[in-house]
Structure 1
């Protein structure tokens, strides 16, 4: 037997469906424009500002790294690897996951050091805090400014020890990628200056 919804119940259900349909899903469109990204994801601006306040990490550099690593996809993973003539799947290239494409071991290090035991790589707030934490680590361990998107990305990709070894100088593809990140960060910086209100005001870190 069908039960008719009362007017009040129907109205509540309609509002719930409307709210769900208006909630963004998937990565933001027009990722080349930082203001457009933050317009589509209104809560991301505060997450970036919080990371800047905590770690002195410039929003443009954080966004550029996440853009390059995952294209702002919460469930991003590296490609699968295959065995036996490329037909049988054998896990993935690495354990990288989420917005920051952080490896299991590095993510565990972040959670242990910051006490963020419940942090999730698929959560944007946690992801940007991780990137800010890593940029701060890189400045302390490798002497790179947090505003140096090029150098910071090299250390992010290679790890602090890998960066110190200098082996990245022999990887032309990686140098090209770091240049792309630096160019995107520069564009984001100029764009964010036009829509600064989307990122809550945060005091600049003089050591960045």
Structure 2
């Protein structure tokens, strides 16, 4: 005989599913102006950033500053919807999505080259790895230092070909944004120096001495 779920049980199951789904998304840090506080709030983010540094040779403060600019650390960030006549939606400006605002074509290229077919743009670890890959490739293709947040961001925004053509030179607003990214990266770098030794300590050390 088939067991019939009561309305109360069905409601409880649905509520539990919603709570589980909502818990999967990590909220943006409360204080995005301080890299130490970002990592103290999301300890696993530091581990992911350090892994990217070791894998791609990219200093932590550069992709973190770029990510702040791109998504404000929102896992599901995307360009705003465009509207016809002010009320008819007709799509977004681009396919950019997630923490890194990676476009679909570029993300697919990363997935293939880095052999990360399980990666997701709304996962922080994957987004950081994507940015490490991109910054490393900008250095290889356009000879831009991995520590140069200004030119790395211009590569990131305009693409490798666009950067080589100097497309950013006609975009004063973009140059100003790149300067902000560079300034924030320098601030982040200074902040990280003051707390990284503590961030490197494992959970067991923090349990007894933290």
Distance 2:167 2:117 in 1: 33
Please give the residue correspondences for 1:40-79 in structure 2 after superposition, counting only pairs within 5 Å.
40-79=41-80
Please say if residues 61 and 185 of structure 1, whose CA atoms lie closer than 8 Å, have aligned partners that are also in contact. yes
Aligned alpha-carbon RMSD (Å): 2.0
Distance 1:147 1:200 in 2: 21
Distance 1:106 1:87 in 2: 31
Kindly state the Cα deviation for residue 23 of structure 1 after the two structures are TM-superposed: 9.3
Please say if residues 76 and 122 of structure 2, whose CA atoms lie closer than 8 Å, have aligned partners that are also in contact. yes
Distance 2:198 2:124 in 1: 16
Residue matched to 2:87? 87
Residue matched to 1:180? 180
Size of the aligned set, in residue pairs, is: 181
Please say if residues 100 and 131 of structure 1, whose CA atoms lie closer than 8 Å, have aligned partners that are also in contact. yes
* SS of residue in 1 equivalent to 2:43: coil
Please give the residue correspondences for 1:145-156 in structure 2 after superposition, counting only pairs within 5 Å.
145-156=145-156
Kindly state the Cα deviation for residue 197 of structure 1 after the two structures are TM-superposed: 2.7
Higher relative contact order (CA 8 A, sep 6+): 1
Q: TM-score, normalised by structure 1?
A: 0.83
Please give the residue correspondences for 1:1-208 in structure 2 after superposition, counting only pairs within 5 Å.
25-83=26-84, 85-197=85-197, 200=200
Please say if residues 58 and 136 of structure 2, whose CA atoms lie closer than 8 Å, have aligned partners that are also in contact. yes
Distance 1:175 1:190 in 2: 23
* SS of residue in 2 equivalent to 1:77: coil
* SS of residue in 2 equivalent to 1:39: helix
